[in-house]
Amino acid sequence: MKHNLLSTAFGTLLLFSSFTASGMESDITARVIGGDRAQPNAWPFMVALTRNGATQPFCGGSLIANQYVLTAAHCVDRQTLASDVQAVVNAYNFDDLSSAVRVGIKQIYLHQNYQTAFDGDDIAILELTRAINNPLLTVAKSDDFNELNENLSLNVIGFGSRHYDPVKKVSSDNPRVLHQASVPFVSLAKCKASNSSYKNLGDHVFCAGEIGVDSCQGDSGGPIMYDATNGLKQMGIVSWGVGCGLNPGVYTKVSDYQNWIEDRTAGLSYRQSKNIGIIGLAANRKHIFTFTNQSNKSIELKNPQATVNGNTLLTIIDPANDTCSGHLSPGEHCQIEVDYSIVEYTLGRVLLEFESSDLKEGKVAAWLDYHALQPASNEVKSYLKALPNHSAYENNHRWQVDSKVLHSATDLEANQTSELVLDNLPRGEFSFNYWIQSDGGLDSLTVYLNGKKEKVFFGYTNEILSKGSYSLEMYSASNKVRLVYHRSQNSKQSDSHVSLTELKHRQLLTDILQETLDLIRSNNSSDAGSLGLGSGLALLAMMWLRRSRRQ
């Protein structure tokens, strides 16, 4: 296996070296998948989302009100602080933003039912730190959407990838200039039949695109539009798809969220969600929620109710600490304090809801997300000491060390879990060997990375099928890995568990290649001669050996 990877690495270096030596670029014609460069100022409501100070957008959006941007929830669902993101309004050319406006993000409002883009409700509103006077894009209503049929095309715009490799399943070539593409509308029935991944699409999405014409990575959150009977309307939000230009793309159907959008742009400003991370069990914890009325009319807030995972008995709201109930006048702010208790080790949510007759949906909600765990035992910490810069946590069904094996709890009852969390793991590749000891294909080990489910392994009576190895590439600077073993409701094996060995952390191959190329370039720029290919391969070999020793 190592020989194959090293051969691949050498091959990759050869490819990079040929480009470096000759100065040639790929002969592939790079464009937005089936699209073209947009005209300046053609889409003044286009918004590009960037990290603070960054010069390349990671997602798109649209200015739908003077202080609000519509985008996809998956673009900002893991954003700890809204202030870490900026909106570039009237984004066109990232090499010359003189006609654009860069503005900060004050609040992020995700749809309350959003889990992942694949599950639907992939929609979010961003509240800007100040109002922008650019032209606005009108969000479609149901009558507008009903005009669409398979004989019509829509316009999608963005800074997304212009090339997609279907073999490697990677996108590349993100442009500096805004691009647009005309994509055909696809009926939901036809879309579901086009790919097995689409068979469970819900009613709140639609599809558009065909082979060679599509949005791609980096276009997420941007608008897809149609020139309806009463003017240009935003029909959807770029959400997800299988590949780029290979299957229809999936778009959030914004006309189904009319009330939700109107409520989030009504002028009530508040921090909708906050993840307080890993915490222990505790009684009488406190949190203060703040609401500000930025509109020009009074907003009613009444009958506050707080819950912990749906349980009202674990929360207390003292009326003496509630200045929100009643009518909040324009320009005023209020606060409400919630006392809550955490009594079990689990992922959970403290939810606060107000009723309001001034909002279309009749209520407003804000929440805290948490992960209640306890520090791992000393023997588990000692076993994991070779892993760099991390903290280990468990739930109440503790992991154990037996000789050179780390295993989940062996006394789980039906439908219980034994969880191990490795927090703050640095960028790199995390790998391990596993053996699920179970009586059938019911019990499972699930691996999560930064909140996203990455892999599920099931146990089988056949020992060969129950064993294997797994590696997880982690690209963030700090990462949270969850290993959750679940004993099924129908499992018959009383000591069902998973055993792990060879838990390792090593440098990403892509980072090794980048370091090698940086050294080659540095040598070429500082010396009269150039670093030969043989020397480059020698450097790569040394780095590979260093990586292998870290395993």
Q: Which of 26-30, 157-161, 523-527 has the highest mean pLDDT?
A: 157-161
For the cut 70, the answer to whether the pLDDT of residue 526 exceeds it is no
Residues whose CB is less than 8 angstroms from the CB of residue 481 and which lie 6 or more positions away in sequence, other chains included: 421, 422, 425, 430, 447, 448, 449, 472, 474
Selected catalytic residue, list 77, 121, 122, 144: 122
Sign of the dihedral defined by the CA atoms of residues 146, 147, 152, 157, in that order: negative
Residue range 38-86, pLDDT digits in tens: 888 899 999 999 988 777 888 999 999 999 999 999 999 988 789 999 9
Q: Kindly write down the DSSP assignment for every residue of 178-224, as one continuous string.
A: -EEEEEEEE-HHHHHHH-GGGTT--TTEEEE-BTTB---TT-TT-EE
Is 371 one of the catalytic residues?
Answer: no
Higher-pLDDT residue of 21, 344 = 344
Is 220 one of the catalytic residues?
Answer: yes
Residue range 254-270, pLDDT digits in tens: 999 999 999 999 999 99
- What residue spans in the chain does CATH classification 2.60.120.260 cover? 374-509
Residues whose CB is less than 8 angstroms from the CB of residue 286 and which lie 6 or more positions away in sequence, other chains included: 337, 338, 339, 340
Higher-pLDDT residue of 19, 216 = 216
Q: Which of 43, 52, 114, 103 is nearest to 77 (CA)?
A: 114
With residue 484 as reference, give the H or E element that holds it. strand 467-486
The model's pTM: 0.81
Q: State how far the Cα of 397 lies from the Cα of 409, in Å rounded to an integer.
A: 6
Q: In the prediction, which pLDDT does 168 show?
A: 36
> What CA dihedral angle connects 447, 449, 455 and 458, to 10 degrees?
10
Lowest-pLDDT choice from 242-256, 352-366, 457-471: 242-256
Q: How distant is the alpha carbon of residue 321 from its chain centre?
A: 35
DSSP 96: -
Higher-pLDDT residue of 3, 368 = 368
Residue range 288-323, pLDDT digits in tens: 999 999 999 999 999 999 999 999 999 999 999 999
Higher-pLDDT residue of 178, 464 = 178
With residue 537 as reference, give the H or E element that holds it. helix 533-549
- What residue spans in the chain does CATH classification 2.40.10.10 cover? 36-128, 142-263
The CATH number given to 142-263 is 2.40.10.10
Lowest-pLDDT choice from 56-65, 491-500, 518-527: 518-527
Q: Which of 343, 296, 299, 338 is nearest to 319 (CA)?
A: 338
The CATH number given to 36-128 is 2.40.10.10
Identify the architecture of domain 374-509 in CATH.
Sandwich (2.60)
CATH 2.60.40.10 fits 270-372, yes or no: yes
Task: Determine if residue 548 is left, alpha or beta; phi over 0 gives left, psi from -120 to 50 gives alpha, anything else beta.
Answer: alpha
Mean pLDDT of 532-544: 54
Q: In the prediction, which pLDDT does 209 show?
A: 82
Residues whose CB is less than 8 angstroms from the CB of residue 19 and which lie 6 or more positions away in sequence, other chains included: 25
Q: State how far the Cα of 92 lies from the Cα of 157, in Å rounded to an integer.
A: 10
Please report, for residues 4, 6, 446, 543, the alpha-carbon distance to residue 1 in angstroms, rounded to integers and kept in the order given.
Answer: 5, 9, 25, 17
Mean pLDDT of the chain: 85
> What CA dihedral angle connects 392, 396, 400 and 405, to 10 degrees?
-70
